[in-house]
Structure 1
């Protein structure tokens, strides 16, 4: 998912020192975890993004986009991208819903904040990290920072952790209307996007891939394939949006993406054309839950860029997908200027034991303003679900934190969850990765 992997890694542990356990292909792997958190995510600046792409003359015009805020630039619209070997069972998007219980449910467009990997990547260096270790003690909290090719924090401060413990959020009780009643404890978050593989239910989302020219989108000798609607079997483009069929296994290096079902306005540029243009998930507070499996596949460690047996789930600024996710010229994507990527669950190496580890990394201008090479990453990892399933939540919040946690597999993707559900289980032992300013 990323073009390069310059990382800053910090782990905040109460009363004990977590040391890196092993190094594989110059990448450190530390401890298996069930949750991790990034703090100090946001920054301010500008990046360039294509505003037009002429497939006849192979010319590109750009516009400058300014961003700021505690979550920026990831408060912009983001989209989710998945690479095989992977099978998706469920997906849900949640946004704060403050409408009264008897109100007509609001549409996704009304609820969200309006803001204004084929895995060949530029300078892809997942396997080239040379990590150093820096240890500091602050108010009886031990902070361990492991980093490579990224600046260390200018100062160390005590950080608070919004740890989300593994927990089951049960379905809300049914009200007299036949719809789930809102939970009473804390702020209420409503499910605005949903997919269930078994029941073939899909609400508020669109499945897409990079197969432009096959049914929808475009293809040109200048730019190649644009984004396109995805066929139900995931193997080709399609003329209209389709629901991903049940039990589809995406193979090695096969990718697809999840967008909202909201059409773009006339001012939004899309290389694939207005008919295929869809909006991403915007706003300062947004929560997403996935259920998937990542079965083992053939391995080839002679070509790390071939992604054999290297599945992943990540999010991108939606501007990347609307122009080109894998452009032959780096300037044809806003990624190179730091518009934002967050790798949520990513396998970095095709052979054991690293192929059993899902790591995470933030890529933005934070820590290296004006480029996409800042951010930070963790040497801790989630255990990859090669036989069973993995249910995981990722929350992007206005306090400048992104939190990933493993849920119990009995989580049933209810219509409502609460802030208490999202932020439950605060613990001093939660791994906390402070991104360099």
Structure 2
């Protein structure tokens, strides 16, 4: 997963169905850091979108299989969700703790972590608590991404040791979350802060949360090589899911869109209002060849396990609701 400021994050959680490979992995590493400023949430908004699911942020992309409309919407056709176990968690509550996660950015420095060259620029590296400088070890960020100049790549804490697809030599390479069934939860707020640097070409005050096939950041997330040749699989089908993105400076609307150049992609005009001065809980669930993006109740608990019923409630689509949005991608 990838996060761009300005954003405060108080919690992140990742779940997979109980009994899956990822759930069975033993993740015991924990990281600690100081707390972040917080705010309470008082307003509930709900937006939901569904799409056929390709594996966007795992180690490989699996093209969505064709299904009839009844597979997605017909009562009795959807496979019920079993219990889901939490396999990774971050909290900014002092002392901040992260388990099962690695915090990275394109700041590679061969003296600390990652690498750099003039053909491909900075690789992924471990980053400081503020997300602004390269460090030698995995460190949980402090919960605050000050401006849109700061981006984080958050992957599993499992280092690639030959099991990943191609990774850039000497880069800091971690696994993504494999499998077609997985769920990501975030508690955040997006206050308004303009960029402070001199690069006028960078987008400003436009936070986002998105997902990529892990092969993209492990190779070259942005741009081409110095001969203008694409190096990652972004343009050949791996794609990107923007769970929410503010598309312009200071905008209040956050939208969800699926990008897969040369493949199935799309979105619609629905949005939820940017949470300013308050926290908001949000979920992205990959389940039954659908992607569901949903605003959650303020009291939703990112507990160590979720029931199948809780997942089913989040992904349920009500065609009579004026706060649900359904758009099909593929057939």
Decide which of 221, 232, 235 is 1:336's aligned counterpart.
235
> Which residue in the other structure is 2:11 paired with?
90
Distance 1:206 1:272 in 2: 19
Distance 1:309 1:162 in 2: 41
* CA spacing shift, 1:195–1:160, aligned 2, 3 Å: same
How many Å apart are 1:236 and its aligned residue?
0.7
Decide which of 291, 302, 310 is 1:402's aligned counterpart.
291
Give runs of aligned pairs for residues 96-107 of structure 1, distance below 5 A: 96-98=17-19, 106-107=24-25
How many Å apart are 1:412 and its aligned residue?
2.7
- Asked if the contact 1:93–1:194 (Cα under 8 Å) also holds between the matched residues in 2, the reply is yes
> Which residue in the other structure is 2:311 paired with?
422
SS at match of 2:24: coil
SS at match of 1:279: coil
Question: Which digits, 9 at most, give the CA deviation of each residue in 1:101-132, with x for residues without a partner?
Answer: xxxx83258xxxxxxxxxxxxxxxxxxxxxxx
> Which residue in the other structure is 2:271 paired with?
381
* CA spacing shift, 1:294–1:272, aligned 2, 3 Å: farther
* CA spacing shift, 1:386–1:330, aligned 2, 3 Å: farther
Instruction: State the TM-score, normalized to the length of structure 1.
Output: 0.58
Question: Which digits, 9 at most, give the CA deviation of each residue in 1:107-166, with x for residues without a partner?
Answer: 258xxxxxxxxxxxxxxxxxxxxxxxxxxxxxxxxxxxxxxxxxxxxxx95674499xxx
- Asked if the contact 2:147–2:195 (Cα under 8 Å) also holds between the matched residues in 1, the reply is no
SS at match of 2:327: strand
> Which residue in the other structure is 1:16 paired with?
none
Decide which of 140, 150, 165 is 1:243's aligned counterpart.
140
Quote the RMSD (CA, aligned, Å).
2.9
Answer yes or no: is 1:432 the counterpart of 2:323.
no
Distance 1:387 1:108 in 2: 37
Question: Which digits, 9 at most, give the CA deviation of each residue in 1:225-278, with x for residues without a partner?
Answer: 000011122111111101112x4233122101110001113253322526x211
Distance 2:8 2:229 in 1: 30
> Which residue in the other structure is 1:192 paired with?
87
Give runs of aligned pairs for residues 278-293 of structure 1, distance below 5 A: 278-293=174-189
Question: Which digits, 9 at most, give the CA deviation of each residue in 1:161-214, with x for residues without a partner?
Answer: 499xxxxxxxxxxxxxxxxxxxxx972111001000114121111011110116
Distance 1:157 1:314 in 2: 26
Give runs of aligned pairs for residues 204-219 of structure 1, distance below 5 A: 204-213=100-109, 215-219=112-116
Q: Which runs of no fewer than 5 residues in structure 2 stay unpaired?
A: 28-67
From the two aligned structures, give the one with the greater strand fraction.
Answer: 1
* CA spacing shift, 1:162–1:225, aligned 2, 3 Å: farther
* CA spacing shift, 1:157–1:233, aligned 2, 3 Å: closer
Q: Which runs of no fewer than 5 residues in structure 1 stay unpaired?
A: 1-79, 100-104, 110-155, 164-184, 366-370
Decide which of 136, 148, 167 is 1:270's aligned counterpart.
167
Decide which of 263, 271, 283 is 1:393's aligned counterpart.
283
* CA spacing shift, 1:202–1:157, aligned 2, 3 Å: closer
> Which residue in the other structure is 1:231 paired with?
128
Answer yes or no: is 1:318 the counterpart of 2:214.
yes
SS at match of 1:237: coil
Give runs of aligned pairs for residues 10-49 of structure 1, distance below 5 A: none
Distance 1:414 1:91 in 2: 11
Instruction: State the TM-score, normalized to the length of structure 2.
Output: 0.75
Distance 2:202 2:91 in 1: 30
How many Å apart are 1:298 and its aligned residue?
3.0
How many Å apart are 1:426 and its aligned residue?
4.1
